[in-house]
Structure 1
Amino acid sequence: MVRILRGLAYKYFSDDEAVILFLLLVLGTLGIVFFGQMLAPVIASVIIAFILQGLVTKLNQLGIPEMVSIMGVFLVFLGTLIGFLFGLLPLIWGQVAALAGETPRIFKETQTYLELLPEQYPNLVSIEQINLLFQQITSEAAHLTQWIVSFSLASIPDLMALLIYMVLLPILVFFFLKDREVLLGSLSRMLPSQRPMMLRIWHEVNQQCANYVRGKAVEILIVGGATYISFKLLGVPYAALLSLLVGLSVVIPYIGAAVVTVPVAMISLFAFGWGSHFIWVMVVYGIIQALDGNVLVPILFSEVNNLHPVVIIIAVLFFGGIWGLWGVFFAIPLATMLKAVFSAWPVKGQAMEPLEEQ
């Protein structure tokens, strides 16, 4: 066993740069796991600045001065944040409250419908099965109500922290955009002067993750906006809430669209019943999903290396279990980063082409 471990260490850790990179990865992972909640505003600001930097670069390429580009992009971000907090968020919260008020009526209509099933299909469904199902639904609804109440009471002390985050976030985003070169230069001075492997990984991860994160942000806006306009024109209730769910569902490939179809279908069914209106809603929803998967995704992610669907699902489950919603959103970029690390990792006996620092 000792000989095997010694051979693996010689094969994969004989390069000093590989050892340093391994230590940085371990320390970074431990830092996020143990201090991620404390540093949440900083991490979120870095991610947002990373997304906005692409727009700043585009404006610079058009001949606009860098400081003017930064101020313009920052003002757009600030306006979007204010619009979300004071426009979209109250609308969604109001629809959530309205849906909660409609829940007893939905349960009653569901009960009336299910009670007819034993009469229509006596060989498939019995009254005992229906009663057992409703006992379970009532129990789960009671637990859900208790959770909502306890969550609301527990979240009261966090309101002040949320307000502080809302103030800190724009400030940090501005300074990350403005002093990007200074901050990156300070970090690079802490690394070895000769670092071809790190440069190779950095260039690949920067290109892949930047394209993915920015493309995914644009996809959420387009899919969510198209869904809201379509549902509003069709008269679907809770259009803002459903469009938010549909927009966020694109974060989880293959799974998100299937999961969010359930609330869309249920709310449409209870609103319009079985009929042509319900069919039109589901057809329009299916068209949006088809255009997203077959048109929008290839355009936005043409430069992103495709991962195998099994790898994507495993990454979503693993990183989502560790970091929750943030882990789900960044599961694919993290998987891409790991792929870049494994591809560029120096192995004894294999030569690696040098990469000049840009």
Structure 2
Amino acid sequence: MLDEREAPVATGELGRAFNRQSVWARMLIVVAGPVANLLLAVLLYWALFVHGVPAIKPVLAEPAPASAAAVAGLHRGDEISEIAGQPVQSWADVDWILVRALPANQPLQIKLAGGTLRQLDAGGVMLDDGKFNVSAQLGLQLFEPAVPAEIGQLIADGVAQRAGLRVGDRVVTVNGQSIKVWADFVQWVRMHPGDLLAVVVSRNGQPVKIDLTPERTQEGPQTIGKIGAGPKIDEVIFKEMLTEVHYSLGGALRQAFAKTWETSLFSLGMMGRMIKGEVSWHNLSGPLTIADYAGQSARSGGLAFISFLALVSISLGVLNLLPIPLLDGGHLMYYIIEAIKGSPVSESAMEFGQRFGMAVLLTLMVFAFYNDVTRLFGSQ
């Protein structure tokens, strides 16, 4: 920054020095960075909405008995069109709308495709930790068509391949228990990390016995088993579960601004809940997790990566606008005070603010790095 407080400024450039600008000009300068972050998110979302974003239809599986969804009268195959008056176009909208609508003092109105209304009691939902899925707590589960227990893909040199499984094998039994669909096989593998499983598959019409031991893998607080195998997917069934969310040029721009605004408010709300203790500090993420998610989104395709970039850009913009000294929002706070009282904030007050801001940021960094390490390399 061209500023006499930072370094000597040539006489011919004194008029351009930051410290000599009006307080209003300085306000605009410090908010320019965060605003650019938010505008970038708008641009990215606009491009996504114009192009069209593939998404999963909000169709429900049969709710667990006695769950809030079951009590509300929701059933397998129901497609949600609205929650609490907010339109639902994809399954991703379900948790997004629920988190923003909770805590709710009265039942949430669920509108189904066709116009049927249901009242969903959301009392008792836990919002204190990001590991708890809000929709799952209410019994709202995504409908998954039955996938045959047939091996469709194998990870090179993975547990399944080393044990002798081949693409095209149909899993018949595990430890003598019948396997009907792929989900049954997945359940056995996940629940038996490090345990020897006796698997019988049908290969070219002949039974073949294969012994394999699922690899122990950490998934959040749980240790689960994995073998490096995937099912054979019927593309017709898969496509029936997909929809595409897209808008016209003008509609996409409105949606992009709305999405950026809502995400910004949601981020601020989550920060407020953390401060009040309503949401766990485990939700904070640092550079390791961001890099990990960036890699995952890039592998998922260009649209997923662009969406991730928009989210990161919003997070940066919102964070930098917080009234914490050292951040742009902290400088903006000083200039607002200056505009009100008619004189700059004292040097001693600014020095104290700098120290306070440094302490806050260092504390946040420690939490973020700790969460990164435990999330990626351990358990929490």
TM-score by length of 2: 0.21
Identify, as 1 or 2, the structure richer in strand: 2
Higher relative contact order at CA 8 Å, sep ≥6: structure 1 or structure 2? Answer: 1
| Larger of the two Rg values belongs to structure | 2
